[in-house]
């Protein structure tokens, strides 16, 4: 067994090495707004026209000349409580192109979102109106609208003028963002191309789900999980069959993926065993690596789980190798691969989150514990985190991954967490 002593790095030191492998964000491409969910803007998106495009009503009611409300604006009601009586001369529903004339003492019924007639400047909500009996349709305004003259009118360009920035570059396009773009008349956006991530699982012991297990075999789960994580982080994912612990097969698979991927993500074979093919090919001066000018780097990171880590550049493509234990692989993705995805997509660093520990637990001395947790909100609005598992490092416990909605980070110099302690939190859903 190989016993070469490895350099020990902090989480931040190793993350910096991984990010330094990347050339920067992927290139831009034009995408229709309805197809842009989950994409990231490469350029600012600008309004195609004024928003709103013309003055419109914010309420159902009547559109009036503000001058006709004079008796109400001073005292809050008309003389002797009579209010102001106006003649109804028309109706403007939403989407109506008409611009009816409205003279002194007149009004038109108007619906929310309908264009306000040019002759009017104020909308009185229906709740402040009374019908007046008689042969001519009339209404009484019983009280002045809140805001006086100009009340309940949304003016043209009040939200955005043509050419105004709707969303800046680096914005992740959520459903709300897509709605804002469509409302501003934006038909297409310039977004970052989805990074292509090749996910590879290695190991003679790995068998795809659905096939019977032989002695010493386990079902492969890391590639499935890591591929889903990468896709959820914005990648176009390329997968394939499990690669056996054979140097030539391993190198051939990397050659194939490197020609079409922006990032290679490997699971397994990063430790110091005699059959750890990832480390053997990438890190020990193998013939396969030498022929391609590859020099991988394998280190220990002061982190639990996920101590052994490795990275390289294979045929010009950055490569990150994470441990084979399912929980170690998942934690490594959150700490190192997800930040790399943000660089490739041009996303800014996330806003730090905190949570309150909801239980007591012990931590490994000298290593940052990255623990899957289940979170909830207490009566005071605080986010509370409790471990998704309770047995040691649980690097093999796939059920913890299914339960967890976040991970918390416990500093290296902490050996015990007490309920109520504040912890750094990363959401993983």
- What confidence tens digit (pLDDT) does each residue in 217-270 have? 988 889 999 999 999 999 999 998 899 888 899 999 999 999 999 999 999 878
Taking only the tens place, the pLDDT of each residue in 257-275 is 999 999 999 998 787 766 6
CB-CB contact of 39 with 178 (8 Å): no
pLDDT at 52 over 70: yes
Please report the pLDDT score of residue 3 as a whole number. Answer: 53
Exposure b/e, 71-99, CB count within 10 A at least 16 = b: ebeeeebbeeeebbebebbbebeeeeeee
List the one residue out of 241, 249, 235 whose CA is nearest residue 220. 241
The 8-class DSSP code of residue 335 comes to I
In CATH, the number for domain 8-26+194-345 is 3.40.980.10
**What is the rounded radius of gyration, in angstroms, for the C-alpha atoms of the chain?**
32
Distance separating alpha carbons of residues 232 and 350, to the nearest angstrom:
16
* Cβ neighbours around 351 below 10 Å, total: 5
pLDDT interval class at 79 (50, 70, 90): very low
Q: Under a CB-based contact definition with an 8 Å cutoff, are residues 403 and 394 in contact?
A: no
User: What pLDDT sits at residue 230?
Assistant: 98
CA–CA distance, 278 with 275 (Å, rounded to integer) = 9
Cα 286 from Cα 237, distance rounded (Å): 28
Interatomic CA distance for residues 206 and 302, integer angstroms: 28
The band of 165, judged by pLDDT with boundaries at 50, 70 and 90, is very high
Question: What's this model's pTM, rounded to 2 decimal places?
Answer: 0.86
Helix (H) or strand (E) holding 109: strand 106-110
Q: What's domain 56-154's superfamily in CATH?
A: Molybdopterin biosynthesis moea protein, domain 3. (2.170.190.11)
In this predicted structure, the answer to whether residue 391 has a pLDDT above a threshold of 60 is no
The answer, yes or no, to whether residue 78 has pLDDT greater than 70, is no
The pLDDT value given to residue 96:
94
* 420, 359 contact by CB (below 8 A): no
- The superfamily in CATH containing domain 353-427 is MoeA, C-terminal, domain IV (2.40.340.10)
Return the CATH fold of 29-52+158-192. Molybdopterin biosynthesis moea protein, domain 2 (3.90.105)
Please tell me the number of Cα atoms within 13 Å of 29 on its side-chain side: 11
Domain boundaries of the chain, sorted by first residue: 8-26+194-345, 29-52+158-192, 56-154, 353-427
């Amino acid at each position: 067994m190989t016993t070469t002593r490895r350099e020990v790095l902090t989480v931040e030191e190793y993350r910096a090495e991984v990010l330094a492998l990347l050339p920067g964000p992927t290139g831009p491409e034009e995408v229709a707004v309805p197809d842009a969910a989950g994409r990231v803007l490469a350029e600012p998106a600008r309004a195609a026209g004024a928003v709103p495009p013309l003055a419109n009503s914010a309420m159902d009611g009547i559109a009036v000349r503000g001058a006709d409300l004079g008796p109400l604006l001073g005292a809050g009601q008309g003389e002797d409580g009579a209010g102001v009586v106006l003649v109804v001369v028309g109706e403007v529903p939403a989407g109506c192109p008409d611009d009816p004339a409205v003279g002194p003492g007149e009004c038109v019924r108007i619906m929310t979102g309908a264009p306000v007639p040019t002759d009017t400047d104020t909308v009185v909500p229906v709740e402040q109106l009374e019908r007046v009996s008689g042969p001519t349709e009339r209404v009484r305004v019983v009280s002045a609208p809140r805001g006086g003259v100009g009340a309940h009118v949304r003016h043209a360009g009040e939200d955005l003028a043509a050419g105004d920035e709707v969303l800046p570059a680096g914005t992740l396009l959520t459903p709300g963002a897509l709605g804002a773009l469509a409302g501003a008349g934006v038909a297409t956006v310039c977004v970052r191309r989805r990074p292509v991530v090749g996910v590879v699982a290695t190991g003679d012991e790995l068998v795809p789900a659905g096939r019977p297990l032989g002695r010493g075999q386990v079902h492969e789960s890391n590639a499935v999980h890591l591929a889903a994580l990468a896709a959820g982080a914005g990648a176009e994912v390329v997968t394939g069959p499990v690669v056996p612990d054979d140097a030539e097969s391993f190198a051939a698979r990397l050659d194939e993926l490197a020609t079409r991927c922006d990032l290679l993500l490997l699971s397994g074979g990063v430790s110091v065993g005699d059959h750890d093919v990832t480390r053997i090919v990438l890190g020990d001066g193998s013939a396969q690596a030498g022929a391609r000018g590859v020099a991988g780097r394998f280190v220990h990171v002061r982190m639990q789980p996920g101590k052994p880590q490795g990275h390289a550049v294979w045929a010009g493509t950055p490569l990150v190798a994470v441990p084979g234990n399912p929980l170690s692989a998942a934690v490594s993705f959150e700490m190192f691969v997800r930040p790399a995805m943000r660089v490739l997509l041009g996303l800014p660093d996330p806003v730090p989150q905190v949570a309150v520990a909801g239980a007591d637990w012990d931590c490994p001395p000298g290593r940052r514990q990255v623990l899957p947790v289940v979170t909830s909100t207490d009566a005071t609005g605080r986010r509370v985190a409790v471990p998704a598992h309770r047995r040691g490092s649980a690097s093999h416990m796939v059920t913890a991954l299914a339960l967890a909605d976040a991970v918390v980070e416990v500093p290296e110099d902490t050996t015990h967490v007490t309920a109520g302690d504040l912890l750094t939190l990363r959401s993983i859903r």
